Structure 1
Amino acid sequence: MLKLKGQNIRFKYNNATENIFDDLSFMLHDDMKVGLIGDNGCGKSTLLKIVCGLITPNDGKVIIPSPGAYLPQDPKYTDISVEEYLFCFDERLLNARRIMYTCEISEKVVEAVDEFDRLGGFKFEENLSKVINQVELSEIDLNRSFNTLSGGEKTRAAIARLLITDPAYLLLDEPTNHLDIEAKEWLMTFLQNTKLPFILVSHDRAFLDSVVNQIWELKSGIIKEYSGNYSFAEKEQSVELERKKKEYQNSMKKITGLKADYNNKRNWALQFQAQTGKNGFAPVYEELDNNARRAMRRAKVMERRVERELEQAKENKPFIEKEHSIFIETQLPGNEIICEVEELSKSFDEKMVFKDLSFKLKRGDKIHLIGKNGSGKTTLFNLLTGNLRPDNGKIRWVPKAKIGYYCQEHQNLDDKKSALKNVYSGMDKDKESKSRIVLGCLGIKKDKVFSLVEELSPGEKSKVMLAKVIIKEPNVLLMDEPTNHLEMSSRKKLEDALVEYKGCIIFVSHDEVFANKIKNRMIFLDQ
């Protein structure tokens, strides 16, 4: 059964010169669990917003037999109760519900009850108990502040909010960002077991392999569909590329043969013409002159055929983007031990984050920092960089340690400056050209480097942040979820760069493939 259909969709943003989507069409059926992939900035989030009506396309339409539910990328949580959060998918519904249960003026309560009923609120309340059991939230006090929930509980609450509306399908925009392992495993199990079709934007290869049965690759404004998970699609892409390469090579061989045939016919015709004189009037050469003309006509026909074949070959030539690897320059300190952490403790508002934490960072260490959301991973980074002071304990860096800190929230970026200026800000002007090279290696190219950070997609902001760290040539990298929002190709580039990197790394990542390729040690933080 058809759940969703996009027909000939065209769209471009107001200041853009080119369409993001150009005659894009797709269909979602009830047995489809779709992974939507594509480069940063290609329009994945925009497409989901068009489907759920937040953005209107310039042309084309979306046909929706029954409404679905949408989980945006990095939803903003406000200080409300869990129960209010579950109903805040519709501001009118939430306001009516608040008046119903808090207002003492009877007329307003009656109006609120009518509004709540009209919006389907009583039906949603009937679904509530069933849904919170389904997502394992029955033990949670619904009057509790939403912001006090753990990362896993917030994830389950977000899914519950979608399910309360009894949707026909789900739209999920990078739902695994910022999730700890436990929360991600819960979401993975839910998506494996749900009967609802969904479109999922994710750059997590292992996660996609576990939950989807279709891959839609969004590229150059259209969707290419693959019937299988991400690994299957990757193999299909490789096979397709090799086939196109072979076809192109065969076409060029054929063209080479046709050119040789054309040159032979043309040379033969020219020889005949030379023998017949300038105009071929001499009676003795009349037959030669006719042969020359016929040969030249055949040569012209052959020339036009070569031109057609060349034009066709150019159209079918596979596009292979020139890959530029990332290299992180660094000068290593001579010390064996780069940093010592001794009996470190930190708490906030009487809540102990960690206590008596001790470890040593040695030359060549690439440490995967593991812990649940709230276990203190980001807090530890802020202590190591000096942005926070510990309650107790010591942190001793060697004098020549040069720290590069990638923070997952991109606080170090200035939204009102261009991508390029953000990268070399505070450095010599001669770093500008190198900054452009680093940005280019990460996929921020040409005029894109002059775009304001506030105009960039989350993935593009991540690349600017990475470039800002790399350009400073650190010998210690502290990386808090560096792969969040990055497309597959950039993740692989970053993996390769960090494997080759000669300095020390402490990193947080819930991308298993990425982490397993880089780490040589692990530190577990557990409250």
Structure 2
Amino acid sequence: MINLKCESISKHYNQPLLDEISFSFRGVGVVGLIGDNGSGKSTFLKILAGVEDQYEGKFDWNVGVRVGYMPQEIVGRDRLSGGQKKIEKLAELIYGGGYDVLLLDEPDNHLDFEGKDWLIEALSHFSGLVIMISHDRDFLAKTTKYVWMIEDRKVRTFPFGYAQYEKVYENEQVSLERLYALQLAEEKRLIQLVKDFRLRLAQGKVKPSGLRAMMSRLERHRAGMIKNPAERRETITIKSRIEGKRIKGKTAVLVKDMSFSYGNDLVFKGANLHMFVDEKVLMVAPNGSGKTTLIRLLLGDMLPDEGVAKVGVGLKVGYYAQEHFEALDEQKSALQLFMDSYPMYEYEVEAVLRQFLFSKQTMKTRVGLLSGGQKARLQLALFLYRKPDLLILDEPTNHLDIKSIVALENFLKEFEGSVLLITHDRELIEAVGGRVVGITDKKIKPVWKS
């Protein structure tokens, strides 16, 4: 059995990130560590792994416990895809390390369906404790025995898995919203009573002590009021409108008898895909099959050896890259990147970034210091502001927190333009709908959803 005791753990980055975290845990199995982007999940995991030493407080594992850690971004052999690197590292940690505790930062990111199924099976056979950050709801529901949630700079622990957590937390929020409404109504009533007492004091009908007593009652009530639960439900505002006139039947993407190789490594042979304007196509092929290569061919970054790979004439393309370093200059701030990309005043940029949950401070923070989720939201903000006709998204849910993924789902369902979406998120596929294709035998073929 694994024991963990945390005492007054605090971490500050100019402002509090983690504040006086204290709790004890005893058990084995998989813990899902969840919370909003930028809430401190990765930092907390680093503290427990011993790779972050600038913090206050302390924690203790059992004597002799061996702890293995995997960060968000890992280095592997150059020819391996992001998912293949993850599998290689995970197999080493789970089967070959002799660890009692595994601390995994988004281990499911970049994994295809087969890779996720492998990881679910592997975790089920691990006899120790796993503390794992993930934003994939289906994956969390299938793996977790406990949930730890970072909220308001604290860690809340739940003695059950994610599927039950979702129901319990939703019911809790509904109850809190009702309580807050009652407290708000009582506050208004007390404010009115204070006003009445002031008027009656001026008329000589009450003593000053009566007004002071009523004001004290109001202050005590305010001190006991809960925080507005609606603020926790705040999510990013994703919207984009099509500027050009859409022509029914117009081609959005054309891949015709296309072949492509990296040297002697054949990736596509006679591949075909035709996508109309207004159509949504979801691609679910395995890692290493050529999905990102297809995008680069469509964008004109590379040329096919044979055939055609292009987007429709006159269409404005918005591309969301799987790796943020491909799209973002990490030496600049979010504010600077926006002003470099668009002729906008600073106050206009601030208004846009606030819709993507950026505070004044994070807007001006160097991108390299932002969390993976904050970088993901920034990339969404930048490419959607172009008002593209065609969205090409390469695994956009990687690093996004759950409420941002839900917002993205709703946006993609309602988006009036064309969408080519590469994803391994089962719930996103079901929510967005559309035609599903894969890559098999070097060709692009229809896939029947299960």
TM-score using structure 1 length: 0.76
SS in structure 2 of the partner of residue 525 of structure 1? strand
Change (3 A) 1:256 1:353: closer
Q: What's the CA shift string for 1:432-477, capped at 9, x where partnerless?
A: 5554333222222323112111111111111121112111111001
Partner in structure 2 of residue 7 of structure 1: 7
- Which of 60, 64, 67 pairs up with 2:61? 64
User: Are 1:371 and 2:368 counterparts?
Assistant: no
Preserved CA contact (<8 Å) 1:328 1:470: yes
SS in structure 2 of the partner of residue 191 of structure 1? helix
State the alpha-carbon separation in 2 of the partners of residues 8 and 50 from structure 1. Answer: 13
User: Are 1:439 and 2:438 counterparts?
Assistant: no
State the alpha-carbon separation in 1 of the partners of residues 215 and 340 from structure 2. Answer: 57
Q: How many residue pairs get matched?
A: 435
Partner in structure 2 of residue 334 of structure 1: 247
Partner in structure 1 of residue 446 of structure 2: none
Deviation, structure 1 residue 32: 4.0
Partner in structure 2 of residue 75 of structure 1: 74
Deviation, structure 1 residue 269: 6.9
Letter in 2 for 1:309: H
Deviates further, 453-462 or 205-214: 453-462
Partner in structure 2 of residue 26 of structure 1: 23
Deviation, structure 1 residue 148: 5.7
Change (3 A) 1:17 1:264: closer
Deviation, structure 1 residue 28: 3.7
Partner in structure 1 of residue 373 of structure 2: 459
Q: What's the CA shift string for 1:267-315, capped at 9, x where partnerless?
A: 77766x47xxxxxxxxxxxxxxxxx66xx644543443233223323x5
SS in structure 2 of the partner of residue 330 of structure 1? coil
Partner in structure 2 of residue 309 of structure 1: 221
Partner in structure 1 of residue 422 of structure 2: 508
- Which of 92, 112, 115 pairs up with 1:160? 92
- Which of 326, 332, 355 pairs up with 1:417? 332
Letter in 1 for 2:308: K
Change (3 A) 1:165 1:503: same
Q: Residues 337-348 of structure 1: matches in 2 within 5 Å?
A: 337-338=250-251, 339-348=253-262
Q: Residues 109-124 of structure 1: matches in 2 within 5 Å?
A: none
SS in structure 1 of the partner of residue 170 of structure 2? helix
Change (3 A) 1:150 1:444: closer
State the alpha-carbon separation in 2 of the partners of residues 369 and 422 from structure 1. Answer: 30
Deviation, structure 1 residue 5: 2.3
Preserved CA contact (<8 Å) 2:396 2:423: yes
Q: What's the CA shift string for 1:62-113, capped at 9, x where partnerless?
A: 212212211221211146xxxxxxxxxxxxxxxxxxxxxxxxxxxxxxxxxx
Preserved CA contact (<8 Å) 2:177 2:230: no
Deviation, structure 1 residue 159: 2.5
Preserved CA contact (<8 Å) 1:439 1:463: no
Deviates further, 502-511 or 157-166: 157-166
- Which of 38, 41, 49 pairs up with 1:41? 38
- Which of 476, 486, 489 pairs up with 2:403? 489
Letter in 2 for 1:320: E
Structure having the higher strand fraction is: 2
Change (3 A) 1:336 1:436: farther
SS in structure 2 of the partner of residue 417 of structure 1? coil
- Which of 284, 295, 318 pairs up with 1:381? 295
Deviation, structure 1 residue 500: 1.1
Structure 2: gaps of 5 or more residues: 442-450
SS in structure 2 of the partner of residue 466 of structure 1? helix
Deviation, structure 1 residue 256: 5.2
- Indicate the percent of aligned positions where both proteins have the same amino acid: 30
Preserved CA contact (<8 Å) 1:403 1:478: yes
State the alpha-carbon separation in 2 of the partners of residues 447 and 153 from structure 1. Answer: 34
Q: What's the CA shift string for 1:123-162, capped at 9, x where partnerless?
A: xxxxxxxxxxxxxxxxxxxxxxxx5699458515532345
Change (3 A) 1:45 1:316: closer
Structure (1 or 2) with the larger CA radius of gyration: 1
Partner in structure 2 of residue 284 of structure 1: none
Deviation, structure 1 residue 172: 0.8
Preserved CA contact (<8 Å) 1:72 1:172: yes
State the alpha-carbon separation in 1 of the partners of residues 417 and 335 from structure 2. Answer: 25
Preserved CA contact (<8 Å) 1:335 1:398: no
Deviation, structure 1 residue 38: 1.1
State the alpha-carbon separation in 2 of the partners of residues 311 and 149 from structure 1. Answer: 53
State the alpha-carbon separation in 2 of the partners of residues 269 and 466 from structure 1. Answer: 58
Deviation, structure 1 residue 428: 2.2
Deviation, structure 1 residue 257: 5.3
Preserved CA contact (<8 Å) 1:70 1:162: no
User: Are 1:251 and 2:186 counterparts?
Assistant: no
State the alpha-carbon separation in 2 of the partners of residues 240 and 374 from structure 1. Answer: 43
SS in structure 2 of the partner of residue 172 of structure 1? strand
Letter in 2 for 1:186: W
Preserved CA contact (<8 Å) 1:344 1:358: yes
User: Are 1:320 and 2:319 counterparts?
Assistant: no
State the alpha-carbon separation in 1 of the partners of residues 235 and 115 from structure 2. Answer: 35
Structure having the higher helix fraction is: 1
- Which of 175, 180, 183 pairs up with 2:107? 175
Change (3 A) 1:442 1:298: closer
Letter in 2 for 1:312: G
Partner in structure 1 of residue 134 of structure 2: 202
